[in-house]
Amino acid sequence: MSKSKFSHLPLSTRGPIECAVNGTVLLNTPYFNRGSAHTPEEREEFNLTGLLPQSVQTLEQQTKRAYEQYSTRPDDLAKNTFLTSLKEQNAVLYFKLLQDHLKEMFSVVYTPTEGDAIQNFSRLFRRPEGCFLNIENMDRVPHDLAQWGKPDDIDYIVVSDGEEILGIGDQGVGGILISTAKLVLTTLCAGVHPNRTLPVVLDCGTDNENLLSDELYLGLRQKRVRGEKYDKFVDEFVQSARKLFPRAYIHFEDFGLTNARRILDHYRPEIPCFNDDVQGTGCVTLAAVMAGLHVSHQKLKDMKLVVFGAGTAGVGIADQVRDAIASEKGISKDEAAKQIWLVDKPGVLLTDSKLDNGQRFFAKDVSSWSGQDRSLLSTIKAVHPNVLIGTSTVPKAFTEEIVKEMAAHTPRPVILPLSNPTRLHEAVPADLLKWTNGKALVATGSPFDPVKGPWGADGEEVSIDIAECNNSVVFPGIGLGAVLCRARLITDKMLVAAVRGVAALSPALRDDTAPLLPGVEEVRNVSVRVAREVIKAAVEEGVTTEEEIPDTDADLEEWIREQMWEPVYRPLKRVETLGASREARAELKVVGSLEDIRDKQQRVQG
């Protein structure tokens, strides 16, 4: 590997790793342990002779063995458990295995299999990972967080209260697994250093009766706490995290419908934070929409959007589209919102509907809808949208009549049925393409096989690839950019820049039968582009705190790549314990280690 002009950076991933431990302590440290791949020199230097079989193997050989072991597991949940065990032993091998088999293993390490693991958290539990904070022991929050490192040790925190997990609802303390899964994706997809992340769950109880009646359930056995006490608990976490880890980016994940947007709106003006359900879904969806509009020779400023399903995801998408329209046209958000209609169970949202704060922005004046019913079909007939998005979880809601009505007024309708799991999709791609004679530009919330039909020149059969609106092509790159530039805030312009970064890499821009979004196998390159655009926007907005950020695209990309963690075995360099870093002493992501307890108390007290 050639030397980079940025190899002096603290997060550079070149050169040897300092190590002050040896023997079984080293082998029990996932970021040092490389098992049978330790060289003969390392085995002698770090007192590993006699602790390992004699044969020295390569990472590639280890990956082959691990894949064979993985393949023997009888089902996806067992495979998920195997991967978790591997991660606890050897971080490099774990991520290398995932990287080499990303397309195959993505659904095992994340949705839908991670949802099964979360539901079975208390039954599959072997050892804890992450920070468990208890609403009934609020005074301990600063102490419990302080155990996870010094101020510069943590770059990225994912926190969940477990109320609305992956479409399976309230999972209580099992929410810790969605925090760990998201952090796996930030490393896998964007090279965020795995030792510098922290998964957190806020245990507020649960309203899931199955968990409350399960004698093995590991969380607080009480109804979910809400109201003032809940808000105080969240604030105690946020303020403690900011005080203890002032450079960390906070990612809120799978909070309940009534809290997700409210919490984000409260803290967003103050700290660098992000909610993937609100903003990530909106960003990746907008990227697909922008690619679809480009393919169909339409402009964002001319968009008329109908969103069916006005919950957290639907309103989050509407927000991102509104912000992008406002940015492109140079108009207010209120004015941009006039191009977006939200439809929920009662029908199109009007000013006389029961509305939450997020929905209120998009409600149309009731007087403008007099004499019409409020159904989705009536909305399509009245609005003539060129983009239709589904987040309703109402199966087959996009009927043939609705789709043909839409297609009658726009040459290439952009239709995105996003509800998960697959059985809840508003329509399947094969029907959408059939009903529009292959003209629809489609992306979905779950993977679908390509669709074949007679839609080519002179009725020639063509195969159309279907994009999956997977947040993982957006949120890791946003987080990477925010971490590297040490952003004070995550602004609207930074998110719009991220969207444009993804949309610019759409395969459909070169071939309209290709997917609207890049696939997960391209995600690391996508994350570099997203991080680049986010950092450029942050510099323009004046919210960066990192110094000497390169100002050309080429240098900025090299600067980003130099700091992205890769699953490779770097040489170990022996250093003395006295004066060694916490990383060298095997203390990163370790609680109750050699750190002086008085030092920790001083940090908690301020």
Task: Tell me the catalytic residues.
Answer: 110, 182
3-state secondary structure of 87: helix
* Among the listed residues 116, 128, 120, the one whose alpha carbon sits nearest the alpha carbon of residue 210: 120
Tokens of 372: 């019409």
* Among the listed residues 159, 129, 131, the one whose alpha carbon sits nearest the alpha carbon of residue 145: 131
What pairing do the DSSP bridges indicate for beta strands 347-348 and 340-344?
antiparallel
Residue tagged 């920790």 (tokens): 600
Per DSSP, 278 falls in state I
Distance (Å) of CA 86 to CA 43, 97, 237, 474, 586? 21, 10, 30, 27, 18
Per DSSP, 604 falls in state H
Distance (Å) of CA 258 to CA 166, 263, 268, 371, 441? 16, 9, 17, 32, 33
Tokens of 364: 């149309």
**How far apart, in Å, do the first and last CA atoms of the chain sit?**
43
* Among the listed residues 422, 475, 466, the one whose alpha carbon sits nearest the alpha carbon of residue 446: 422
Strands, E assignment, 339-440 = 340-344, 347-348, 387-390, 414-417
Q: Which residues of 263-273 are buried (b: 16+ CB within 10 A; e: fewer)?
A: bbeebbeebbb
Tokens of 557: 């990309």
Please give the Cα distance from 488 to 246 (Å, whole number). 10
How many other β-carbons are positioned within 10 Å of the β-carbon of residue 427? Answer: 25
Residues 6+ apart with CB under 8 A from 544: 485, 486, 487, 488, 535, 538
Long-range CB contact pairs, 322-329, < 8 A, 24+ = 322/361, 322/362, 323/492, 323/495, 323/496, 324/286, 324/290, 324/300, 324/496, 324/499, 325/300, 325/301, 327/492, 327/493, 327/496, 328/300, 328/301, 329/301
CB 36 within 8 A of CB 53: yes
Please give the Cα distance from 199 to 251 (Å, whole number). 10
Residues 6+ apart with CB under 8 A from 263: 234, 252, 255, 275
